[in-house]
Each structure stands twice: as structure tokens, then as C-alpha cells.
Structure 1
């Protein structure tokens, strides 16, 4: 039987949502003024090259993942949670408790399987069909209402698989994040300046990151989260920005919000790998399977064209992938092979795998 975890279910009334959003929108200009007159953080420009102290090993971080009650989200969360439980207590791990922040506004049938905190989605129509826009609002509600024992938080996603145990990668008040090659603030200068004007500082203040994976002090995230929500909503409201940023809009929202709060992230390329582009697992801590993996039977990548062999999470929108997926053909990179093996191990051991998460 799966481990039964205590449920934390708290509903936020729709009236509170509306008033809360109105308040936060009004507060944005005040926050903007306060931050404009705030001096720079003397430790803001943080990189590993600065020779700072080691990560805060031994200080546990809470693993938090935002999710919906759709089957597509549920089966990914179940795989992620399986590997969280397996890695959590290994030597070298600073993982603490786990929370699935469910922003569907109602409970679902995974409540007894994993620790879940229910929050409300954005009011109807506000996300404009961009479901990820609910993520910052979900964190705002969770941080305000939940009991979180750990001082640090790892913001993760359902399509993350923990490859190996890892310590708290943050360094004191400086969060750790993953540098995404496609987040390029300097190349989007005209648009970025709508939300991060010149008087705030150079565009290099904005890290090439999203909110996940990030390990960050809870107190700092409590400051950033409302701004992250407001900036993301403003970006979505602006047609030019919405078109330019597309599906990574909310990632830019987090990056800009962090810069507005003078928060710089330690960039860790070993935080995560993304098959099929990253060929080896190496010493990375997380596999992010956001991209489809398509190959010929000769082991040749056919990205953009359905391969003779493929693994793509989007093939399973209405229900989970079957157990015992076929392994890739010879010649396919190690990262893809390990991904499929880890999916297979999880699905072989999760009860009611093929029946519980179907729409």
C-alpha cells in the first residue's frame, strides 16, 4: 500500500481571490516606488566564480510542485513523487517535506497518495488559456496559508525526475537556479524594459532563469511571489509581450520579478538536464522531460518528426503511459535511456498505475 500522508486542504474563497488580486495590482505601483528608492543589495551579483561559501548543506528544503487535477498532470506527479521518496533519505540529500500545490480549486483522488494543498485558480478568463499563469498565484496562496517547516523551498515541476540526492544548492540568502538557453533578456530588451525600466538597472540584472528549478529561502520567495504574479499578468495583458514570450512568459515574469527585488541566483548547469539535447546524465540532479524524444531505429534523432521510436509526454494527455515502455534503440544517448528506465521503474511500482489517472 502507498504511504498515506496527512492532507492539508485549504480553500480560498473566490471573493478573496478577486479582492486579493485587486489589492496586489494596486500594491504593485507602491512596491515599484519603494524598490526604486532602495539601495542595491551588496551581495546581489552572485556567481560561483566569486568564491563564496559552499552551499548550505544540512539545511533542508521543502519540495513544492504546482499541478492541476488533469490526468496529464497527475501521472507526471506520481512519477515525480515516487523518485522524491526514493531519493529523499539517501546520503547527501537535504530534501525535506513535499507538497503538491493543486491549483484546480478542488480535491482529487491523489490526495491520499501525496501531501497536497488545494488553492484556487485565477478567476475565470484571467489566465487567457495559459494555464501556467496560475503557478505564481498558487505560490502566493500557499505561502500565505500553509505551514512550511523548512527555511528553504525547491520549486519543481511535475515533469521532473530526481536522478540523485542533492544538497541545498543555495548559498545563504542567494537562491540557486538553472540557466535556460532560451531565456535571453538582452535580446528582448525593448519588451523587457516595459517591466524593468532603465532606472532599475542593466538588463544583466535579470537572470536567464524560470522559477523552476530554484532553491530559495522561504522569506525571499514570500517577497518575490506577489511581484512575480503581477508582472506575469501584466505581460499576458500586453499583446506584444504575449506574442514574443509565448509559453515561456511566466518564466520571464519570475526572472524580472527577482531582479526587481535585487535577487540574483547562483546559476547551476548541473541542476538539471533536458533530453534529448543533453546527451549524458553526468552529475546532474534532475531530468526534465519537457521535450519529445524521437529517433530512428538506427538511433538517429528525428526531432520535429515522429520517430520510429519515441517518448513524448504529450502522447499521454488523457491518461498515463503504459508500464514497461520499450527501451530506445542502440545509439540513443544515455540521458534518454535513463529517462525511460526511470519512468518504467516508477510505473512498475506505483499501485493502480494504468487505471487511476484516466480522464
Structure 2
């Protein structure tokens, strides 16, 4: 892709909270304002998106924006809800920022009933899967929720960003999809070639090489609305089929639904531009610095308090940024903790 001069960090995720404190980037690199070119020979894990030069020029010329609608699925648990509130706070902060192509926002609540945050966060109520169908894997409600939303909601934007409650937006986000391709983050643990024998149950050889399946999940992904309308029902059916198959279920475990989206996208002929710097991905770390810790799963039944203590010296700047952003959000969201 072209070498532009505008760079965008986009999403910070809370890492899986089996750790003393969360190291958000693997190389302990600081969160900076200026970043190396992602296409250069040195690989960076900083949270950056480079805008292609052609698009930078068009934005400078005040060209028409290609707005995308941000959609995230969520349950009505305390744990999901406080993350949704923080995520939406930062969405609003950056929605109208420079070069943003962020349009509307929807929380797709798959509890089947309204909650008390309907007036705070734009929300679509989706029905959960019938009892027992998720086999204890609640994430299977995600594709089913998207199917319902895409069928029933009046979505003005022609593109959709699929996000999750534990994402935090750190800069205005441009629309990185182009030429019918989605824009996605590549996950190192999604390995289609390694699991070809399993994936061929769902992606037969006549559909092409296994490398047609991108190493992605459904989030973060920017994709055309019409493309997602085709992908979503297949994503749902493949997810259910994978969960019912013992070999597949054992092979993919908690990332099964991510593989299902990647397969569904490939089955529909929708490829993706892979941006390694779309998101700072969490990594498990078992270290400890004094008594300080931040573990999102410590707050599964009650939201985190306002004014969390900042990390001590030596913690990566990305972690400091994360805690500061949580603190700003909780300080400004009305009735936090109520």
C-alpha cells in the first residue's frame, strides 16, 4: 500500500485477564504519535494504521467520506456492560475527529430484552439462541445477533466495523476497506494451513486453496454492509456446525467462532486487507510489578471504581494509556457504578 504521512492507532483491547497486570503489546514498545512505516523491513507492533497516500490526498481535498457503522455484540452481564459504556464513551470522543469516517453506532444486545442503558448507548435488541444450542459457548450468539440486526435494522452506512466491548478506540478511524475487500486484523493464532484437514469439512477443495481463508476473526473488521449480509448467515451456520463436530470443537476451542467467520468470508469470496497494526493485541504475561495489577475479570460482577491507580514505572506506556482512558471514561460517564 502507498506510503502516506498520516498514521492512525485505532483499537486497544483489554487482554485476557488471567494475568497479574496486562501487557498490551508484546515488545513493550511505547504508544507514540509517530510510527515507522508498516511496510518497511522492520516489523512494528505499535497500534498504527497508515492511510494510503491516495486516500490522504482525497481527504485533504474534502472528498466524500465512506462512512462505516460501528456494531458490537454484547450480553447484559455487568462485565460486558461496563466495557460497552467505556467503549461507547471513546467512540463519541473520536467520531467527528480529523479524517474520521466513523458513522453511527449500535450495541447489539443479545439478551432478548432491554436494559437500563438503552438511552445511553444506541441499542438493538436481538434474541439469544434457543436454550442449549450454544452448548455453553455464549459467543455463538454473536453471529446469530448480527443476522437479526442486518435483517431488521435500517443501517444507513454502506460499511460496517465489527467491534467488541473490550475494545477502546484511541484515534479517529478512517475506512480502510477498498475495492470490495474488507479490512481486518490478522491473529497469529488463526492458522488455516495448520488446520487444513479440519477446515476442509467446511471449505471444500473446489472452493480453492486453504490460503483463501484469511487469518482473522470477525473483529476488528471493516466490511461492506451488503457483503456482511451474505456472510452473516453462513458464519452462523458454520459456527453451529463446528461446535457440533467434536474434532473441530477440540481443535479450535475458544476461537471456534473466529475460524467460522474467516471461513464464511472466504466462502462468499470476500477477501481482506490485513493490517497488523489495526489493534494492539493483548498477550498473557505472568510478571508482577509490586502490588499493582489491572485484571478486567476482577470486575465481572461490579464495574471498576473510578480513578484506578496508574501503573508504576517500568510498565509499557500502552498499559498506562489504557488505564488513563478507562479512568477518563468512568469519571465522565454519568452514574458510573450505579
- CA distance in structure 1 between the partners assigned to 2:285 and 2:232 by the alignment: 30
- CA distance in structure 2 between the partners assigned to 1:54 and 1:224 by the alignment: 27
Where does 1:233-244 land on structure 2 (aligned, <5 Å)?
233-244=240-251
Structure 1, residues 254-280: CA drift from partner, whole Å, max 9, x if none?
0001111111100011211124x4xxx
Q: Which residue of 1 aligns with 2:196?
A: 189
Structure 1 runs of 4+ aligned residues shifted over 3 Å read 51-57, 291-294
Q: Which residue of 2 aligns with 1:110?
A: 117
- Pairwise CA RMSD: 1.8
**Distance verdict in 2 for CA 1:52–1:144, change over 3 Å:** farther
Residue among 229, 234, 238 paired with 1:227:
234
Q: Which deviates the most, 178-187 or 56-65?
A: 56-65
Name structure 1 gaps, 5 residues minimum. 1-47, 278-290, 298-307
Q: Which residue of 2 aligns with 1:346?
A: 329
Residue among 66, 71, 89 paired with 2:73:
66
Look up the SS of the partner of 1:185 in the other structure.
coil
Do structure 1's residue 309 and structure 2's residue 292 form an aligned pair? yes
Q: Which residue of 1 aligns with 2:42?
A: none
- CA distance in structure 1 between the partners assigned to 2:285 and 2:254 by the alignment: 16
Aligned length: 282
Residue among 84, 92, 96 paired with 2:91:
84
Do structure 1's residue 269 and structure 2's residue 249 form an aligned pair? no
Look up the SS of the partner of 2:270 in the other structure.
coil
Look up the SS of the partner of 1:66 in the other structure.
strand
Structure 1, residues 155-201: CA drift from partner, whole Å, max 9, x if none?
00000000001210111311100000110011111111111122211
Higher relative contact order (CA closer than 8 Å, sequence separation 6+) = 2
Look up the SS of the partner of 1:187 in the other structure.
coil
Shift, 1:92, TM fit: 1.3
Look up the SS of the partner of 1:117 in the other structure.
strand
- CA distance in structure 2 between the partners assigned to 1:314 and 1:244 by the alignment: 25
Structure 1, residues 251-306: CA drift from partner, whole Å, max 9, x if none?
0000001111111100011211124x4xxxxxxxxxxxxx6785323xxxxxxxxx
Structure 1, residues 50-85: CA drift from partner, whole Å, max 9, x if none?
x99649961110010100111111000000000000
Name structure 2 gaps, 5 residues minimum. 1-48, 60-64
- The question of whether the paired residues in 2 share the 8 Å contact of 1:294 and 1:310 is answered with no
Look up the SS of the partner of 2:337 in the other structure.
helix
TM-score for the superposition, normalised by structure 1: 0.76
- CA distance in structure 2 between the partners assigned to 1:223 and 1:196 by the alignment: 16
**Distance verdict in 2 for CA 1:104–1:292, change over 3 Å:** farther
Where does 1:1-359 land on structure 2 (aligned, <5 Å)?
54=55, 58-275=65-282, 277=283, 295-297=288-290, 308-355=291-338
- CA distance in structure 2 between the partners assigned to 1:166 and 1:293 by the alignment: 32
TM-score for the superposition, normalised by structure 2: 0.80
- CA distance in structure 2 between the partners assigned to 1:175 and 1:274 by the alignment: 19
Q: Which deviates the most, 308-317 or 201-210?
A: 308-317
- The question of whether the paired residues in 2 share the 8 Å contact of 1:177 and 1:214 is answered with yes
